[in-house]
Structure 1
């Protein structure tokens, strides 16, 4: 059997057997030149998603467009550079965007629920469980969650890959069977699509398939994403066992019918804990722990926890539960993990055995700096 035939079969199975589908659409696919919302594009998308619902699948929609929707009412022609103006535009535009979705889904007898997230809502232990319960309740009630990043209050998270990586994390959070990324480009190409002779990449089975591929990083005037963030999102999702289809918004109906449009990313890994998935791909670490050679071997080769005896230096201002980089003596980052002590406590623990720490400081110090269940190799 040829690779192409195999791809067609696997694609159709992944799409048509998916019981829970996350669809992400970018700002440029929902707006007209100048930044205002294009109601007809929203209507076309909703019609397609209602068809997915009609065949028995659940749908979660991750939609960019709040900032873009707020540009026209505020007299702006492109995304502002300052964070304050971006947040103002998001505040104006989010209500407009939600209203359009509510109206269009209502034509099909479907109720929508707005879910505004920051990265912390998806990855922090104290938050993501509540977020998961909220999604479960909405889906159990037959509601289509319409998700966007909470741009009105977000700080650095406002540039979190134009919702692409957020969509991949949401797909993991809701245990999705499929992630569909819709943009203004019909597929991933081996070079700029405008270049004569550029070839569409039909499928990606591993990172090796992207070797030598030129991936553009520039997004639209109203969004922040680009092909780089979409490939990163696909890597996160497929690494957690979720297949991904990447294509243009006008091809959404074909993509969600299992036709061979766009680029199909095959699953490459198994479902992992969401906190560790985020830790590997999207976290901003708060400090570093320098390991000696023996500790590097224990963590990397034996899958052991990181003990104080194997750490030679600490840097950064972090608290217990924050993400930190674990670095080898030569400075290479070998892993990331959630540390169990505040930075101020660690210097007094370095190089000491847990038995010694228990004897001198008490039982609460006879534990790992980073438990193996709370770290991921890089």
Structure 2
């Protein structure tokens, strides 16, 4: 077990995600979950742990929730607002307070921070994805601690990550991290809901089957956040499947997790880091339509890792242009892959079921090249 955790302790570049509930002060009123503002003592404790790793020559990227929670007190809001406009207003005020608190805390150690605000659209668009990657890499090369957060001030329900746990996993691949630590007010993953009776800490999760088997029913999230154990496991699945070691634990264990000590729940990495294009296709892209494949085409794409040819496609749906991401579905409607279309949606119906040799010169190519296909 210790050697497994040490894999993260040895990682040169680590993404650390912290939730809102770990950064804010509770109201102190029985039965109330609202926050009264940022807890500067807690922020300092987290920063001290991160600085220890930085001084050891490691790169740290901090994905921090807390903007909306930080905006509640100055706006005199009694709880996290439900309507989008007020959430955006709270984020606008709170993000400044949050980053200022981090800047002051890291400044005690002579370190600088840089704010990186992202929306899901930034990672769904290939060019924006690469721009975000270059920005983060440059900040790290300059010795700056990137503070990453979803841009809640402009994000809408349609273009949200859903939770910063998922953003952390995407960021881990974006910066080629070797490890990811998910911090909250829970010390790890349990085999049952600890709030409902007896439960045992799961020390290690070794494969996909164990991730899927964890019971997250009834798990609650903090009143000032949006996440829960289900989103952390989803994040761990994304990151570990892309060759990133993961620890899920409480913020009090941040220093131990960074050092590779046995704390929380360790999720083993599975496989190697996938090519950037395929990772982006699977986890960050939003399909603009889909193609329906016959059984032979499904076998060719999934098992044979072949390009998708017109002969094996029976239907097309959606409005997309050449270069857009689309889903590939079997005859039962189950998505088996995503890919980048070589054609506009309007061109494809005339090509369905035909051999490439029978097409005119302008269309004698695959619908989707195998290098542009990511299996689901």
**Do they superpose with TM above 0.5?**
yes
Q: 1:214 to 1:282 in 2, by over 3 A?
A: farther
Q: Does 1:130 align with 2:131?
A: yes
State the TM-score, normalized to the length of structure 2: 0.93
Tell me the distance in 1 between the aligned counterparts of 2:259 and 2:300.
48
Q: Greater CA deviation, 329-338 or 136-145?
A: 329-338
Higher relative contact order (CA 8 A, sep 6+): 2
- How far 1:104 sits from its partner (Å)? 0.4
Contact 2:117 2:148 in 1 (8 A): yes
Equivalent in the alignment of 1:200: 201
- How far 1:55 sits from its partner (Å)? 1.3
Equivalent in the alignment of 2:3: 9
- Which structure 1 segments of 5+ residues have no match? 1-6
Q: Does 1:335 align with 2:337?
A: yes
- How far 1:300 sits from its partner (Å)? 1.6
Q: 1:303 to 1:212 in 2, by over 3 A?
A: closer
Equivalent in the alignment of 2:248: 246
Equivalent in the alignment of 2:30: none
- How far 1:282 sits from its partner (Å)? 5.0
Tell me the distance in 2 between the aligned counterparts of 1:327 and 1:15.
37
- How far 1:148 sits from its partner (Å)? 0.6
Equivalent in the alignment of 2:288: 286
Q: Does 1:347 align with 2:345?
A: no
Tell me the distance in 2 between the aligned counterparts of 1:279 and 1:189.
32
- How far 1:124 sits from its partner (Å)? 2.6
Q: 1:280 to 1:63 in 2, by over 3 A?
A: same
Q: 1:248 to 1:374 in 2, by over 3 A?
A: same
Q: Secondary structure at the match of 1:194?
A: helix
1:4-54 CA-to-partner distances (Å, cap 9, x unmatched) read xxx112212x13311111100011111122332111111111111111111
1:322-342 CA-to-partner distances (Å, cap 9, x unmatched) read 222211122222222222222
Contact 1:290 1:327 in 2 (8 A): yes
Q: Does 1:30 align with 2:23?
A: yes
Contact 1:285 1:324 in 2 (8 A): yes
1:205-246 CA-to-partner distances (Å, cap 9, x unmatched) read 102224542114542211111111100111111111110011
Equivalent in the alignment of 1:4: none
Equivalent in the alignment of 2:53: 52
Q: Greater CA deviation, 108-117 or 365-374?
A: 365-374
- Deviation above 4 Å: which 4+ runs of structure 1? none
Q: Greater CA deviation, 198-207 or 86-95?
A: 86-95
Tell me the distance in 2 between the aligned counterparts of 1:323 and 1:155.
21
Tell me the distance in 1 between the aligned counterparts of 2:304 and 2:96.
51
Equivalent in the alignment of 1:366: 364
Tell me the distance in 2 between the aligned counterparts of 1:188 and 1:283.
29
1:66-93 CA-to-partner distances (Å, cap 9, x unmatched) read 1111122112122222222211111111
Q: Secondary structure at the match of 1:22?
A: strand
- Which structure 2 segments of 5+ residues have no match? 27-33
Tell me the distance in 2 between the aligned counterparts of 1:148 and 1:212.
30
Contact 2:184 2:251 in 1 (8 A): yes
Tell me the distance in 2 between the aligned counterparts of 1:210 and 1:116.
29
Tell me the distance in 2 between the aligned counterparts of 1:31 and 1:110.
23
State the TM-score, normalized to the length of structure 1: 0.92
Contact 1:241 1:271 in 2 (8 A): yes
